[in-house]
Amino acid sequence: MNSDNKRILSGMRATSPKLHLGNYEGALRNWVDLQNKGYEMFCMVADWHSLTTMSENSGEIGHNSIEITKDYIAAGLNPEKSAIFIQSHVKEHAELHLLFSMMTPLGWLERTPTYKEKKAEIEGAEREPYGLLGYPVLQTSDILLYRPYGVPVGRDQAPHLEIGNDIGQRFNRLYKTEIFPTYKYLIPEDETRAKLPGLDMRKMSKSYDNGINLSDTAEETAKKIKTAYTTPTKIKMDDPGIPEGCAVCQYLKVYSPDWQTQWEEDRQGLRGCSKNKNECIEAVNEYFRPMRERRAQLADGDVLEILNKGAERAREVACATMVEVRVAMGLLA
């Protein structure tokens, strides 16, 4: 693809109806920036990928997909500019996944760190779904169908992105084609944002239930921040704090314009944790207020219409790629 390729593809799974601030800082914020810089965005809700862990409670996936789409739009994705769509609405993702599955070495998949982690949580092959191993192959199909310039994701996705480029290059070599150019990994550089901790200072994660959600109300946010982890040795107001190890201070650094003063006062024992918490609540609620207002305006019907249009745009690109793929492989296109 030539140098004016400004296409971007990314996605998130639909395992929960709520995206949290870690999802926003790790990826979504970057999508919005790229959109506003003029890139042609394809933003997907990876509903099929949710099934690797949700096949027994798949009934929630449709609802989750709508709610996540609302979070995307609330965060600033503009459906007039960016194609927002559901993975399963564009069947070409499944077709390319099947074709890639025939030429992807098993060893690449067995070595994937995310696979090894998930496998360790599951007891025995009888309980391990076939699709789990192929997760990165489906993700590669999601990406390469759009032949993007770059893929903006959180850090944890880097191993999947590497396999994706390896599969693309292997395809090119096998079928003597240049259909799949390599794409760039667009991973946030700002450490504090990229690694925004959960309320307990562990990684912010739905499974730890330690997150603040984009869709939380101001009151819910306040309640959560009041329980957040702070410097454990700071008991009295004038005990010195260690802002680097305090969840509230980490949020202040990202959302409060005055964070430097707040950190310095914390360090010197000039302020107590409850003052920090109150100012943090204010800063976080102020930052997310416009997004939450935008979210409240979105009706399910509007969202479904946006998703239909998004899938149409995605299908145009995906179908064109598939014709080239079939021809390159010698199948009847």
Active site positions, annotated: 118, 203, 206
CB 315 within 8 A of CB 95: no
If the CB atoms of residues 196 and 273 are measured against ligand TRP, the closer one turns out to be 196
Q: Which stretches of the chain are assigned E, i.e. beta strand?
A: 7-13, 40-46, 83-86, 150-152, 184-186
Interface mask toward ligand TRP for 119-148; x: CB under 6 A:
--------------------x--xx-----
Q: How far is the CB of 150 from ligand TRP (least distance, A)?
A: 10
Q: How far is the CB of 27 from ligand TRP (least distance, A)?
A: 7
Q: Interface residues for ligand TRP in 35-54 (CB under 6 A)?
A: 46, 49
CB 89 within 8 A of CB 311: yes
CB 215 within 8 A of CB 71: yes
Per DSSP, the residues of 266-279 read HHTT-S-HHHHHHH
Interface mask toward ligand TRP for 143-162; x: CB under 6 A:
x-------x-x---x--x--
Binding residue count for ligand TRP, defined by CB under 6 A = 14
If the CB atoms of residues 43 and 283 are measured against ligand TRP, the closer one turns out to be 43
If the CB atoms of residues 24 and 259 are measured against ligand TRP, the closer one turns out to be 24
28 binds ligand TRP (CB under 6 A): no
Q: How far is the CB of 172 from ligand TRP (least distance, A)?
A: 19
If the CB atoms of residues 160 and 271 are measured against ligand TRP, the closer one turns out to be 160
Radius of gyration of the chain measured on its C-alpha atoms: 22
Q: How far is the CB of 331 from ligand TRP (least distance, A)?
A: 24
Phi, psi for residue 163 in degrees, rounded to 5: -60, -40
13 binds ligand TRP (CB under 6 A): yes
CA distance 46 to 12: 6
CA distance 27 to 21: 10
Residue that has been written with the tokens 């926003």 in this structure: 24
If the CB atoms of residues 185 and 269 are measured against ligand TRP, the closer one turns out to be 185
If the CB atoms of residues 52 and 276 are measured against ligand TRP, the closer one turns out to be 52
Measure the CA dihedral 305/30/192/250, to 10°.
Answer: -30
Measure the CA dihedral 24/28/34/38, to 10°.
Answer: -120
Helices (H) and strands (E) in the chain, counts: 16, 5
Exactly one of 8, 12, 54, 311 binds ligand TRP (CB under 6 A); that residue is 12
Q: How far is the CB of 157 from ligand TRP (least distance, A)?
A: 5
Q: Which residues of the chain form contacts with ligand TRP (CB under 6 A)?
A: 9-13, 46, 49, 139, 142-143, 151, 153, 157, 160
